[in-house]
A and B are shown apart, each in its own frame.
Chain A
Amino acid sequence: MDLSFNAEERAFQDEVRGFIAKNLTEEMKRATALTPSVFSDPDIGMAWQRALHRQGWGAPGWPVEYGGPNWTPAQRWIFETECARAGVPNVNVMGVKMVGPVIIGFGSPEQKNFYLPRILSGEDYWCQGYSEPGSGSDLSSLKTRAVRDGDDYIINGTKIWTTHAHHANRMFALVRTSDGPRQQDGISFILIDMKTPGITTRPILTIGGDHEVNQVFFDDVRVPVTNRVGEEGKGWTYGKYLLEFERGSGIASAKLREGLKAIADLAESDLTGRAIDSPDIAARISEVEVDIDALEMTELRVLSALQTGQNPGAVSSILKLRNSEIRQAVTRLGADVIGHDALTVEPMRPLYKLNHEPALPEEMLTVMPEYLNGRAYTIFGGTSEIQRDIIAKMMLGI
């Protein structure tokens, strides 16, 4: 057993660092640090995606024939870790990490040829149409309906929590194409052009003050049948495949560590009156740091198993659950570290383009929005309660 990287891996690490040093601008870095929502806005995120694509690194998880870089699990680890350390933009995952793998796995040759290059280049910006007002954790009860009419489906209904629907030009959605004894069997996976007549988008502000999610309405929206991925009625299987990706690309600890470091730096600073001098704060920082150490080791254990072709199993639910809980612990700590400054609200967005002098120092601007928005981490992508159901079923057989 060995925790250290070999010569080749260290060389790759240098390559990644070199790439980041060359391509990550101060503007991108500052914008990312001042973004208290999950994903960077497209102007920042897609600039980074284009740089990655130029390097041939646009889609780390894809097979090489579709433009993946053919990295080993250790290389993916190094890449993600270096990106987190440097503070690169958080590229919206809906394209590369979510719809991309589904199209690769189940799409037609035409769909692959059309969509995959546009995902890689950042030409297309995707959003996900899964949840509905009446279907959250119980996703298979979804009611947005696609009725066959010649070579088209006519779609009616509504989707909610749609991240970046206001930026996206495409949506992948789960829609009901038939009713049967098993709800899951009547669902299909459809690709929708957001400019199609009949689609309207309503912004939803989250409690941190950010506009990241939306509700999307479909009113007699015509979509060609050729936009369906795979077979009719198999959408649930494809959607679940994708959720596995959403739960754990498996490398979250590096980002958590950077988040904690930012809070620890604030605690060491005069801005907070050196919050670290309180033994309670110091011990809590250690407690969270140790939780990150444990998550990192679990990630590395999974990585090692993957390297030798073993299947890590239901551990992706553990990774999702712990990542979301630790993220919340980091943001909660941040809220405590800044003391009275937690009372100051900055309502304008984006925080990196304010046209007035904010009431808080820049280092503190995102702390409360991140804490407040961060309550969503244990809700999206399958709530913590659903993850515990999965762990009990898949790991414990109950």
Chain B
Amino acid sequence: MDLNLSDEQKLLRESAERFVTESYDADHRRKTANDPLGFSPSVWKQFAELGWLALPLPEEFGGLGGGAVDLGILMEAFGRGLVSEPYVATVVLGAALIARCGSTEQKQASLPKVADGSLKLAFAHSERAARFDLAKVTTSANKTAQGWRLAGSKIAVLDGHAADEIIVSAHIHDHRGPSGRIGLFLVQATTPGLVISDYPRLGGGRACNIELFDAHLPEDALLGDGSDARPAIEWAVDRAMAALGAEAVGIMQTLLDTTLEYTKIRKQFGRPLSANQVIRHRLADMAMQVDEARSMALRAALKVDAAPIERARAASGAKAKIGKCARFVGEQSIQLHGGMGVTEELEVGAYFKRLVAFDTLFGGSAHHYARHAQLGRTAVSA
């Protein structure tokens, strides 16, 4: 039992924090927020040079073989700087799905390119009618003589506009109709019949909705052997929730630091705000919730390779708890900044919005407490 960072992990944290402090300031964020791309290609190149794109990828395909804790360290630093590069879409979700489901050829074709920064990915899974139910997919994939024909709509695809290839989940239909299996399909961004409508995403970066109008794909667009991808999707999303939880911790820590400073400087009634016990107690609660969130993100990371139910309960528990903490810390940061907190003139709002996006993505606290409870009962009755 040891929860201390290794020397390598300390170095990773230092270099990630240094990068964010030195290169990722408010000006940079404002510039990318108004940019149609939503992030900076030169920063992406730096990520590749620093080895961060390769960090969690398997070593035999150009990766560094890092674990979920390493990923969490990087993500927490990203949170502190409100980094908007498509890291989650490409590395945490996209590359992980290829690494888990793809054939050796598919992994060889994609993963080294992700590592060197020349391939960006996205994962198109959510559908409007499914809400947060990961198992529900109506987008269809019909087998054709040449390969596959995909039809359907996806929403809230992170960074899909920037992706070279989008991994699309679809219900596989064979000659008898729906097979009950979900497949993952690698769709080139240039595929005819694929329509991408992108928009600015709450809290920075971009997202898109996509439509597939009988898009024709080659035979080898299907990742792996076509067995049901639901377990892999649950796995990938649980891992992503752990990583996003760490990012949320970084965001919350920055909000706490900023708000604490502000309450020391801002004077009303002839004394600093922090001289009031009601303010000090609020800040104590915020600090406590940041700490609880940090514990939960770490716990989820340490359990990503556990048995599916244990992993999923840790991920859902973390998502629910961190989401709750994030709303509290975010909303109170605005409250304690007073009127200025509600303006775009301070960065508090941007950090708050990223936390709201975190809480929303893959389902909010209520959804994940319910999933946690359901999985607990499965575990008991199993």
Show the binding face of A for B, using Cβ within 8 Å.
1-6, 9, 74, 77, 268, 276, 279, 282-283, 285-287, 289-291, 293-295, 297-298, 300-301, 303-305, 307-308, 315, 318, 321-322, 385, 387-389, 391-392, 395-396, 398
Contact = CB atoms under 8 A, between A and B. Distances in A.
Given A285-B376, A286-B320, A293-B296, 14 more contacts: A1-B9, A1-B298, A279-B370, A283-B370, A287-B369, A290-B318, A290-B369, A293-B314, A295-B292, A304-B3, A315-B291, A322-B288, A388-B284, A391-B284
Given A305-B4, A398-B280, A398-B283, A289 B260 contact: no
Contacts of B373: 279, 282-283, 285-286
B285 interface: yes
B321 interface: yes
A300 B2 CA distance: 8
Contacts of B274: 398
B283 A298 contact: no
Nearest to A290: B317
B179 to A, nearest CB: 32
15 contacts: A1-B69, A1-B302, A3-B3, A3-B303, A279-B370, A282-B373, A283-B373, A286-B373, A297-B295, A300-B1, A322-B288, A389-B277, A389-B280, A392-B281, A398-B260
Interface of B: 1-6, 9, 69, 260, 263-264, 274, 277, 280-281, 283-285, 287-288, 291-293, 295-296, 298-299, 302-303, 314, 317-318, 320-321, 366, 369-370, 372-374, 376-377, 380
Contacts of A387: 284
A92 to B, nearest CB: 29
Given A289-B376, A304-B4, A388 B280 contact: yes
Contacts of B280: 388-389, 392, 396, 398
Nearest to B381: A268
Given A2-B2, A286-B376, A294 B292 contact: yes
A191 B9 CA distance: 50
Contacts of A282: 370, 373-374, 377
Most buried by B among A4, A279, A303, A388: A388
Given A297-B298, A298-B291, A322-B292, A286 B369 contact: yes
B295 A3 contact: no
B13 to A, nearest CB: 13
A87 to B, nearest CB: 20
Contact of B3 (A1, A268, A385): A1
Contacts of B4: 1, 304-305, 307-308
A5 B320 contact: no
B109 to A, nearest CB: 33
A3 B373 CA distance: 23
A219 to B, nearest CB: 38
B1 A283 contact: no
A391 B287 contact: yes
Contact of B2 (A1, A268, A391): A1
B3 A293 contact: no
Given A290-B296, A297-B296, A398 B263 contact: yes
Contacts of A287: 320, 369
Contact of A294 (B284, B295, B372): B295
A301 B299 CA distance: 10
Given A282-B377, A293-B317, A1 B5 contact: yes
B288 to A, nearest CB: 5
A77 B372 contact: no
A257 to B, nearest CB: 13
A115 B329 CA distance: 48
Nearest to A392: B280
A387 B314 CA distance: 29
Most buried by B among A6, A283, A395: A283
B320 A290 contact: yes
Nearest to B302: A3
A303 B291 contact: no
Given A287-B369, A392-B284, A293 B299 contact: yes
B295 A301 contact: yes
A352 B5 CA distance: 48
Contact of A74 (B1, B5, B380): B1
B355 to A, nearest CB: 17
Contacts of A315: 291
Contacts of A388: 280-281, 284-285
Contacts of A301: 3, 295, 298
Given A3-B1, A298-B292, A396 B284 contact: yes
Contacts of A283: 366, 369-370, 373
A1 B293 CA distance: 18
Most buried by B among A2, A276, A298, A321: A298
Contacts of A3: 1, 3, 302-303
Contacts of A389: 277, 280-281, 284
Nearest to A304: B3
B263 A290 contact: no
Nearest 10 CB-CB pairings of A with B: A297-B295, A392-B280, A304-B3, A391-B284, A290-B317, A286-B373, A388-B284, A282-B373, A398-B274, A286-B372
Given A286-B376, A298-B291, A396-B284, A291 B1 contact: no
Contacts of B380: 268
A396 B283 contact: yes
A297 B2 contact: no
Contacts of B287: 391, 395-396
A74 B288 CA distance: 24
B296 A294 contact: yes
Contacts of A74: 1
A289 B296 CA distance: 12
A163 B92 CA distance: 54
B227 to A, nearest CB: 31
A32 to B, nearest CB: 24
B264 A398 contact: yes
Nearest to B314: A293
Contacts of B285: 388
